[in-house]
Amino acid sequence: MTRLGVKSPAGLTLGHALLALAVVIVWGTNFVVIKLALGHLPPLLFATLRFTIAAVPAVFFLPRPAVPLRELALYGILIGVGQFGLLFIAMNGHIAPGLASLVVQSQVFFTIGLAMYFNGEQLRPVQALSLALGALGIGMIGWHSGGATSLGGVALVLGAALGWAGGNMVQRRAVGINMLSYVVWSSLFAVPPLALLSLYLEGWPAIAAGFANASATTWAAVVWQSVGNTMFGYAAWGWLLTRHPASTVAPLSLLVPVFGMATAAWWLGETLPAWKLEAAVLVLGGLALNLLWPRFARRFRPAV
**Residue ranges covered by each domain of the chain:** 14-300
**Helical segments of 39-96, H only:** 43-55, 69-77, 86-91
* DSSP structure class, residue 250: G
**What is the total residue count of the chain?**
304
**In angstroms, rounded to a whole number, what is the distance separating the alpha carbons of residues 234 and 237?**
5
The contacts of residue 68 (CB under 8 Å, 6+ apart) are none
CB 62 within 8 A of CB 56: no
Whole-prediction pTM value?
A: 0.86
DSSP state of 231: I
Cβ partners under 8 Å of residue 216, min gap 6: none
Task: Find out whether 127 and 290 touch, Cβ atoms under 8 Å.
Answer: yes
Per-residue pLDDT of the chain (304 residues; tens, 9 = 90+): 344 444 444 467 888 889 989 998 999 999 999 999 999 999 999 999 999 999 999 999 999 999 999 999 999 999 999 999 999 999 999 999 999 999 998 888 888 888 888 877 777 788 888 888 888 988 988 888 767 789 999 999 999 999 998 988 888 787 778 888 999 999 999 999 999 999 999 999 999 999 999 999 999 999 999 999 888 988 888 788 777 766 677 777 778 888 999 999 999 888 888 988 999 999 888 888 877 776 676 666 655 4
